[in-house]
Amino acid sequence: MQTKLSIIIPTLNEADKIEQHLSKLQVLRQHGHEVIVVDGGSIDDTVSLVSSLCDQVCQSQQSRSIQMNCGAKVASGECFVFLHADTVLPDNILEYFSSINNIESKWGRFDIHLSGRNWLFRIIESCMNSRSSFTGIVTGDQVMFIGEELFNRVGGYPEIALMEDIAISTLLIKFAKPIRIREKVISSSRRWEKNGIVKTIIKMWGLRLLYFFHYDTNKLAKLYE
């Protein structure tokens, strides 16, 4: 029996790319899987553009953790796939999920490929993949997937302003090591290119260090913006 996937996508003002992004997921819908968009209060045309390209559109408070929890509450699949609006899944995704037994109680992530051509991105993505394998910590742009049973067992995403992916990884790893799917998802490098590659690396590691020392995540979110 096929495992039903619920692909949950938090959005905020993604009108410029969301149709192109969701069009690539239609084949999954044709195979019986569902796509859920949870919008955090977009002021552009995001909501109207996605209505015919997904199974459900939910409205939520602007917060990635809250948005993803909202999507999980209405999802009907055995496995939740949390997908950023600027990340593209591999075409053969179903082959990988079909080989995972008892997926309801497991979790994991994909390897990542950053879309930019700069050679530094190859180093960054390699480090991200290796770090995640070593620590068991998964970031959202690596496309985290969590079995419905396990997701409910840990209580979903901690509803904090930032670092929710690290927070839930810390909870999940107490029950199971993450499954690593070596097929790569393609994540946009727009943030890195806009703010500067080296500056972004320093900023992100600085934010993680502050989080490690229990700095207020609401203040971290403001620093992130």
Q: What is the mean pLDDT of the chain?
A: 93
How many whole angstroms separate alpha carbon 9 and alpha carbon 64? Answer: 9
Give the residue carrying structure tokens 């890195």.
192
Question: Residue 28's pLDDT band (boundaries 50, 70, 90)?
Answer: very high
Question: Residue 1's pLDDT band (boundaries 50, 70, 90)?
Answer: low
How many whole angstroms separate alpha carbon 76 and alpha carbon 52? Answer: 19
Average confidence (pLDDT) over 5-20:
94
Question: Residue 223's pLDDT band (boundaries 50, 70, 90)?
Answer: confident
For the beta carbon of residue 191, count every other beta carbon within 10 angstroms.
15
DSSP string, 127-177: HHHHHHHHH----GGG-EEEEHHHHHHTTSS---SS-HHHHHHHHHTTT-P
Residue 165 has pLDDT above 80, yes or no: yes
Cα distances (Å, whole numbers) of residue 84 to 92, 105, 164, 206, 210: 18, 22, 13, 22, 24
Average confidence (pLDDT) over 113-134:
93
How many whole angstroms separate alpha carbon 175 and alpha carbon 133? Answer: 16
Residue 166 has pLDDT above 90, yes or no: yes
- From the list 105, 107, 108, 109, the residue with the least C-alpha distance to 150 is 105
Question: Residue 12's pLDDT band (boundaries 50, 70, 90)?
Answer: very high
pLDDT above 70 covers what percent of the chain? 100
Average confidence (pLDDT) over 202-219:
89
Question: Residue 192's pLDDT band (boundaries 50, 70, 90)?
Answer: confident
- Which CATH number does 5-224 carry? 3.90.550.10
In whole angstroms, what separates CA 75 from the centre of its chain?
Answer: 15
Question: Residue 31's pLDDT band (boundaries 50, 70, 90)?
Answer: very high
How many whole angstroms separate alpha carbon 217 and alpha carbon 127? Answer: 25
Cβ neighbours for 7, distance < 8 A, ≥ 6 positions apart = 25, 28, 33, 34, 35, 36, 81, 83
Residue 2 has pLDDT above 80, yes or no: no
User: pLDDT value at position 187?
Assistant: 94
Strand locations in the chain (E): 5-11, 34-39, 56-59, 79-82, 87-88, 107-114, 144-147, 179-187
Average confidence (pLDDT) over 120-137:
94
Residue 33 tokens read as 């899987």
- From the list 40, 72, 42, the residue with the least C-alpha distance to 148 is 72
